[in-house]
Amino acid sequence: MPGDLVLEVRDLKTSFQLHKQDYRVLHGVSFEVARHETLCVVGESGCGKSVMTLSIMGLLPENATVQAQSIRLDGQELTALSPRQMNKVRGRKMGMIFQEPMTCLNPLLTIGRQMTEGLKLHLGLGKEEARRVALETLKQVGVSNPEERLRQYPFQLSGGLRQRVMIAMVLSLNPRLLIADEPTTALDVTIQKQVLLLLRQLKHQLDAGVLFITHDLGVVAEIADRVIVLYAGVKVEEGGVRQIFEQPAHPYTIGLLAAVPNIKSEGYTLSPIPGTPPNIAQAIEGCRFHPRCGRATDICREQAPALRALAPGHSAACHHLEVRP
């Protein structure tokens, strides 16, 4: 895995200015994505997972400040790039798929136009050549009669199809990193399954890593190789997908797994995590999870825990990690 890293993020801190006040959303998050790997970022609303992807893409609004020790994409340091240079990387080397397929495509332009503009811009392809590539990628993501689709407008396609078009649009440029921000949340379960399977197949075919954002642990189990759990802007646990689901260490991860009503389990009891996720305006001393944590003691209220390694590739940030046999 080392040496084959597609994305390396060190100490990412993002904050927003609102009414002349600074609100920090990400409190120093580090992670990396390797080639042919899917890294899932899970967390509840407001944990900063979307802000994280937008920080990497450089798509945040102007009132946001991104600070990071380093964001390396395929060996290239992104933090040092000018906006113009960033435009060359964005779309070309990293592509992004969003949550709402209904609104993510321009309603007034044909699918063909929207698919080919990136190809023309980044690869300098001619009209015909770009069209051919677009057709091929549409076929690759399982879109039926692609010729016709290229002529159609977004409103003529269903949600599942639009999401496939979005995926094709990103893949046609053969990026090194694919960022997917809740790409299946707005889809029905049967369509979601189709799209997830597609993404899993593509992962093997592509020369890229996938950064997959979701709040749905079921989706994580299905698609992830590695998982990081984000809570209130802090990475609380990181591990392989089996480690996270079978030996979760952080109380938040454990609580989250227990709260999901699982259709395959019997005798499930509703066990919520008390309280609500904090909003960004709330300042929390010590461990950011302690107000909702059953294990919290004085040290949790005073001192933020550091990440501790539990097993190779598995670490968690908690003062009260149970020693694993």
Partner 1 sequence: MSLAPLMTLNKLKKRFPLGGGRSIKAVEDISLTVFQGEKLGVVGESGCGKSTLGRVILQLYRQTSGACVYYGKSLQEARPRYFAREVRKLPRYQRRADKAYQRSLQVEDQARAARAHMEEFSAQASHRETRAYNRWSRRADRQAFRALELRKQASRQLREGSRTVGSLILSKDLDQVQQLYTQALHQLTQAHQARRQLLRLGRLAPAYLPDSEKDMPEHRAAAELAQRRMNQAMDSARAALAQAEGMKHQNLLMLTERCGDPAYWQKLDNNQESGINLGKLSGRELRDVRRDLQMIFQDPAASLDPRQTVGRAIEEPFRIHTKLDKAARKARAVELLEIVGMKEEHHGYYPHQLSGGQKQRVGIARAIALHPRFVVLDESLSALDVSVQAQVLLLLNDLQAQFGLTYFFITHNLGVVKHFCDRVMVMYLGHICELAPAKPLFDRPLHPYTRSLLASVPVPQVPEFETDEAPLMGEVPSAVSPPGGCVFHPRCPDMIPICQAQRPPMVEAAPGHSVCCHLYTKDSLEEVAHEPGPAL
Partner 2 sequence: MAKYILKRLGMMLVLLVGITFIVFGSLFLAAGDPAQMIAGASATEADVLAVRAALGLDQPFWTQYWIYLKNLFSLNLGMSYITRQPILQEIAVRLPYTMNLAVAAILLSTLVGIPLGILTAIKRDTIVDNLLTTTSLVAISIPNFWLGTMLMLVFSVILGWLPSGGMTEFFYTPLGFSQAILPAIALSTATIASFMRIGRSAMLEVLQSDYIRTARAKGLRRGSILFVHALRNALIPLLTQFGTSFGALLGGAIVTEQVFVINGVGTYLVNAINTRNYPVVQSTVLVIAALFVLVNLVVDLVYLLVDPRISYQ
Give the DSSP per-residue string, 231-285.
Answer: ETTEEEEEEEHHHHHHS--SHHHHHHHHHSPPTT-SS----PPSS-PPPTT----
Contact yes or no for 25/15 (Cβ under 8 A) = yes
Selection from partner 2, partner 1, none that 277 binds (CB < 5 to 8 A by kind) is: partner 1
First-to-final CA distance of the chain: 27
The C-alpha atoms of residue 299 and residue 286 are separated, in whole angstroms, by: 8
- Residue 66, phi then psi, degrees to nearest 5: -110, 120
Binding mask 112-151 for partner 1 (x = CB under 8 A): ----------------------------------------
The C-alpha atoms of residue 299 and residue 188 are separated, in whole angstroms, by: 44
Residue with smaller CB distance to partner 2, 117 or 129: 117
Determine if 51 is a binding residue for partner 1 (CB under 8 A).
no
Determine if 176 is a binding residue for partner 2 (CB under 8 A).
no
Residue 179's alpha-carbon distances to 13, 49, 53, 147, in angstroms, are 19, 12, 7, 27
Determine if 5 is a binding residue for partner 2 (CB under 8 A).
no
Write out the two tokens for 12. 């990412």
Residue with smaller CB distance to partner 1, 69 or 271: 271
Determine if 156 is a binding residue for partner 1 (CB under 8 A).
no
Query: Out of 166, 167, 211, 273, which residue is the one contacting partner 2 (CB under 8 A)?
Result: 166
Question: Which 3 state secondary structure label does DSSP give 319?
Answer: coil
Full strand arrangement of the beta sheet holding 314-317: 94-97, 177-181, 209-214, 38-42, 226-231, 234-240, 314-317, 307-311
Determine if 180 is a binding residue for partner 1 (CB under 8 A).
no
Determine if 177 is a binding residue for partner 2 (CB under 8 A).
no
Selection from partner 1, partner 2, none that 155 binds (CB < 5 to 8 A by kind) is: partner 2
With contacts defined by CB under 8 A, name the span among 3-11, 29-37, 89-97, 254-262 that binds partner 1. 254-262
Determine if 167 is a binding residue for partner 2 (CB under 8 A).
no
For residues 314, 283, 257, 316, the Cα torsion angle rounded to the nearest 10 degrees is: 10
Residue with smaller CB distance to partner 2, 16 or 153: 153
Determine if 268 is a binding residue for partner 2 (CB under 8 A).
no
Residue with smaller CB distance to partner 1, 261 or 325: 261
- Residue 211, phi then psi, degrees to nearest 5: -110, 115
Query: Out of 73, 125, 169, 220, which residue is the one contacting partner 2 (CB under 8 A)?
Result: 169
Task: Name all contacts of 125-134 with Cβ < 8 Å and 24+ positions apart.
Answer: 133/172, 134/168, 134/172
The C-alpha atoms of residue 36 and residue 187 are separated, in whole angstroms, by: 25
Selection from partner 1, partner 2, none that 271 binds (CB < 5 to 8 A by kind) is: partner 1
Query: Out of 1, 268, 299, 322, which residue is the one contacting partner 1 (CB under 8 A)?
Result: 268
The size of the interface with partner 2 (CB under 8 A), counted in residues, is 28
| Burial class, 145, CB count within 10 angstroms (exposed 0-12 / middle 13-18 / buried 19+) | exposed
Site for partner 2, rule CB under 8 A: 57, 59, 87-92, 95-96, 98, 100, 103-109, 117-118, 121-122, 153, 155-156, 166, 169
Site for partner 1, rule CB under 8 A: 44-45, 158, 160-161, 188-194, 196-197, 200-201, 215-222, 241-242, 245-246, 255-257, 259-264, 268, 270-274, 276-277, 279, 292
